[in-house]
Structure 1
Amino acid sequence: MTLITNGRLDRRGFLKTTAAGAIAASLPLGGAYASTPKKGGHFRVGKGHGQTTDTLNPGTWDNGYMLAITFAKDGHITEVLADGSVGPEIAESWEASDDATVWRFKIRKGVTYHSGKEVTPEDVVASINFHRGEDAASAATPIVAPIQDIAIEGDTVIFTLDGGNADFPFILSDYHLPVLPANGETGIDWKSGDGCGSYKLTNFNPGVSSTLERNENHWRDDVAWFDSIELLSLTDQNARTTAMVSGDVDSIDKLDLKTIGLLARNPDLDISSIAGTQHFTFAMSANQAPYDDNNVRLAMKYAINREELVEKILFGYGSVGNDIPIGQGQQFYNTELEQKTYDPDKAKFYLKEAGLDSLDVSLSASDAAFAGAVDAATLYQNSAKDAGINLKVVREPNDGYWSDVWMKKPFTAVYWGGRPVQDQMFSTAYTCGADWNDGFWCNEKFDALLKEARAELDQDKRRQQYWELQEIVSTQGAIVIPMFANYVFASSKKIGKPENIASNWDMDGERWAERWWFA
């Protein structure tokens, strides 16, 4: 067995978070970084996420509002640390067989739920099984599908996979996989809101607000500095910004990058910009015309001016994308993949290959997808004209966008936070039949190669496989990925933060509830 003695698996190459941390340290304007944490205070956050259809069912979570809640109220088997490595949480350590097909996780003793019940290995098994199987109806089903068997041996949970997976500890950090109390009726008790995290959920009003209080009985004493937290769903850009400027909240995410210069002049605010895996996309439904023709999909990819979007939507707070969901700082990023550029003549060529002289399509967008999504769609509309593509922009309401528009309409604006490792990103959204495959795209070669790459332990062979996977997605996939966006958020200068800010999700990996404090 390969023993991970301290429960920490380094991924120095997967995501250059040291570089991202340097960006974070240089851009905030005079904040309380690296001051000594202390307990106290009521922290108010305005999130540009959340909808009235949100529930506490972990299989359905699809936005940053619910991420923030679960990382505060729940414990996970592992967690992605601020430096990009994976560390222990409910599991205190783990070890793997030499071929990485069998993983043994030792479950920490003395961890209790807010109800007082002790967390057991049986809870861990039930929490993962909740997402397994064809009837699971969970967005996490694809990433736990390789698990063939789960067994308990004393305080250890043993996972047997259908093939080797060196990244398996990262998989178990996914936000859909909190450890919740086992329940014979529903598998796990998610309805009560009981959790084993550092904060207790005291009120949950989906799409409006939630409140949490510090869990004084939490097993860690180096997290959760706030006495209480108020989480507000402020999907309207103006309302969110006004709340920040007026002092009604202490932090907001998804800043309006057009006015970020004005915010930065406010002496009471810090602006942070963190480069990571977040990317903004336009998803085409490959299971219906005209997007079932790859020539049409390629025409759409060459009809968008990526540089213009980075300049006018991200205002430089990001980089150009190449229709792959893998960031330039991640391990196995394909550095030799030809970068697509705006080329209306090439777009026309692919339209002709599809037997078309012109194309009429509608693109659904809302700023609930990402700040500036409607403007981005309008820019796309303008650039597509020269390619013979008549793109109608449909402005959708913010509330209900993820339940009523995304994966319901055939062409939609989407944001993705990315995933720590490529297998997790591809398995979640690009394998055939995955619940979050928002391009409804199926490619047998891709699925087979992904399974091979997951089990391959030779790093050179693995790199070649992931490079090929990225080429398939870029040239044949159903997702236009024009830009990678920095995580840009604002906070009061009264808020203290660690020196190293995580880049795997917005606002310090959405672990701000545990990691920040009143300075």
Structure 2
Amino acid sequence: MSDKINNWTSSDDAMVENAIRRGASRRELLQMMLMGGVAAAAGSAIIGRAAAAVAGQPVKGGFVKAAGFSASTADTLDPAKASNATDYIRCCNFYNRLTFINGAGETTMELAESIESKDAKVWTVKLRKGVTFHDGKSLTSADVVYSLKRHRDPAVGSKVNALAKQIVDVKAVDAQTAEITLEAPNADLPTILALHHFMIVADGTTDFSKGNGTGPFILKEFQPGVRSVAMRNENYWKEQGPYLDSFEFFAISDESARLNAVLSGDIQLGANLSPRSLRVLESNAAARPFISKLGTYTNLNIRLDMPPGDKQGVAEGFKYLINREVIQKSVLRGLGDIANDHPIPSTSKYHNAELKQRAYDPERAKSLFQKAGVLGQEIRITAAEAASSALDYAMVVQQAASKIGLNVAVNRVPSDGYWSNHWIKDAVHFGNINARPTPDILFSLLYKSDAAWNESGFKSEKFDAMLLEARGSLDEARRKEIYGEMQAMVSNGAGTVIPVFMSNVDAVSPKLKGLVPNPLGGMMGYTFAEYAWLEA
């Protein structure tokens, strides 16, 4: 039991806090923790601590500085064009979406009062009343129609154009009601509309320099590539929040500098730190780690249509050769969950827990490589720092390969140009995939036969047909069954080796309260400013 307690993290605390907020009883919480191997006495202490955190009263006021890891002169206030964490932070605080994914991964209503459909093809959206934009204009269905149609216009350059193409029509039924018609049924539409790009903007907006939305903060200053400053929206439509008077967001590209800025008190949040920083955070009272389990992963891709991956058994051999526990414990310092060569994490309600976990088995890998006739050949793995921890992963694979007589050479290339010149194109290479909220998005993007990001060239007509069936079904039990089988097909048939789902680490001042992990990203799914508060 002691090992379980020692491995208990702030992410686990946040999970308990979130369960308390959802109304879980003490008995339910203890049962949950006992199943996880936590003793009753220790569980009671943890519940007491979490309950105290939930009971803490938010305080209004204060100014927070937060730093991300990247910024660009191409930074934008147009949510359709948002492309990095810096963009997402601003968009999440100046605008709102029709729906919102909470810390438990549940799709809830935000600007929409309800989104309903009888056939998953035609959806009726009822809007909340009394919502206004920063300029005083009332929210109407015309804003929804305009916002969604923008994503279909190629001239806009929306980052979710591919997803929006399924929308064939959006029309206003009345001032508070819109109707969305899809090309084919998609039961996930409410969740898709919770993605950061689908923020609702005012009808006819072409100038986004003012960030005029319905969100919790109002733009005061925006310098692309430099910083943004926002002030609390005193007329915000939600009953609670935001609590902060204002916040400033900018980038500090160097990780050590970002961490030191939190430790020195210059900023209250430093985003996206590597596992190497965890020891510093755990031994310094000036900051604490805020850990989010996201479903993000770095994977090794073996193209099934190129040598050596075109030989039967090669891709499977790599799946047995990669030591997942070494990566989890040594490379990621314990900040990750063991994965099983498919992209659906255990936090998803569609996760197939019955799929047998593939273990490290170098002898089985050797047998597969031997049958494929590649033991005497050099296999080159392309890696770059652009894919998080890829170089470390490559060393783990190379060391394991040397013990079974497999000649693996690591082709280290510059990060600049990696995604355009090597990713998907090289025979054996690394990828880095951010979390997506639904299996349909992940499978459509990465494994459908004609998917733009089909990293290993996996093709299956049966898989494609199952994808369409699950997408259009409103029967949740049937969808779970289909997605479970699809996970097994990818795990056993695709050339993607997914060893571990990574956790995100943000460094946070002890005075910054109210943060709960969110599956859409670090910094509370980029919404921290709306919900966080400063301890007096």
Query: Normalization by structure 2: what TM-score?
Result: 0.80
User: Do 1:180 and 1:189's aligned partners in 2 also have CA atoms closer than 8 Å?
Assistant: no
The code of the aligned residue for 2:146 comes to A
How far apart, in 2, do the equivalents of 1:277 and 1:206 lie? 29
The code of the aligned residue for 2:470 comes to A
Moved more, 68-77 or 221-230: 221-230
How far apart, in 2, do the equivalents of 1:114 and 1:50 lie? 25
Q: 2:58 aligns with which of 37, 40, 43?
A: 37
Q: Does 1:103 align with 2:123?
A: yes
How far apart, in 2, do the equivalents of 1:248 and 1:127 lie? 38
How far apart, in 2, do the equivalents of 1:374 and 1:274 lie? 23
In terms of fraction of residues, the more helix-rich structure is 2
How far apart, in 1, do the equivalents of 2:80 and 2:315 lie? 30
Q: Give the equivalent residue in structure 1 for 2:383.
A: 364
1:293 is displaced (CA, Å) by 6.2
User: Do 2:96 and 2:214's aligned partners in 1 also have CA atoms closer than 8 Å?
Assistant: yes
Q: Give the equivalent residue in structure 2 for 1:86.
A: 107
User: Do 2:71 and 2:225's aligned partners in 1 also have CA atoms closer than 8 Å?
Assistant: yes
Q: Does 1:326 align with 2:344?
A: yes
How far apart, in 2, do the equivalents of 1:444 and 1:17 lie? 41
Q: How does 1:275-294 map to 2 (within 5 A)?
A: 275-283=293-301
User: Do 1:138 and 1:435's aligned partners in 2 also have CA atoms closer than 8 Å?
Assistant: no
Identical columns (%): 33
| Structure 2, unpaired ranges of 5+ | 1-12, 20-32, 34-42
User: Do 1:295 and 1:351's aligned partners in 2 also have CA atoms closer than 8 Å?
Assistant: yes
Alpha-carbon displacement from aligned partner over 1:433-480 (angstroms, at most 9, x marks no partner)? 555555565543322211101222333332221111111221233432
The code of the aligned residue for 1:517 comes to W
Change (3 A) 1:165 1:505: same
Structure of larger gyration radius: 2
How far apart, in 1, do the equivalents of 2:207 and 2:449 lie? 30
Q: 2:320 aligns with which of 274, 286, 302?
A: 302
Q: Give the equivalent residue in structure 1 for 2:151.
A: 131
Q: Secondary structure at the match of 2:272?
A: coil
Change (3 A) 1:478 1:126: farther
Q: Secondary structure at the match of 2:487?
A: helix
Q: Secondary structure at the match of 2:259?
A: helix
User: Do 1:441 and 1:477's aligned partners in 2 also have CA atoms closer than 8 Å?
Assistant: yes
1:322 is displaced (CA, Å) by 0.8
How far apart, in 2, do the equivalents of 1:194 and 1:293 lie? 55
RMSD in angstroms over aligned alpha carbons?
3.7
Q: How does 1:444-455 map to 2 (within 5 A)?
A: 444-455=461-472
| Structure 1, unpaired ranges of 5+ | 1-15
How far apart, in 1, do the equivalents of 2:310 and 2:151 lie? 30
Change (3 A) 1:163 1:301: same
Q: Give the equivalent residue in structure 2 for 1:245.
A: 263
Q: Give the equivalent residue in structure 1 for 2:441.
A: 424
More RCO (CA 8 Å, sep 6+): 1
User: Do 2:381 and 2:394's aligned partners in 1 also have CA atoms closer than 8 Å?
Assistant: no
Change (3 A) 1:274 1:348: same
How far apart, in 1, do the equivalents of 2:422 and 2:238 lie? 41
How far apart, in 2, do the equivalents of 1:20 and 1:514 lie? 18
1:71 is displaced (CA, Å) by 1.2
1:261 is displaced (CA, Å) by 2.8
Q: 2:527 aligns with which of 511, 514, 519?
A: 511
1:310 is displaced (CA, Å) by 0.1
Moved more, 356-365 or 16-25: 16-25
Q: Does 1:166 align with 2:183?
A: no
Question: How many correspondences in the alignment?
Answer: 496
Alpha-carbon displacement from aligned partner over 1:242-293 (angstroms, at most 9, x marks no partner)? 1121222101233332342332222232223344433333455667665566
How far apart, in 2, do the equivalents of 1:254 and 1:119 lie? 35
Moved more, 254-263 or 316-325: 254-263
1:77 is displaced (CA, Å) by 1.1
User: Do 1:76 and 1:178's aligned partners in 2 also have CA atoms closer than 8 Å?
Assistant: yes
How far apart, in 1, do the equivalents of 2:222 and 2:508 lie? 23
How far apart, in 1, do the equivalents of 2:217 and 2:425 lie? 35
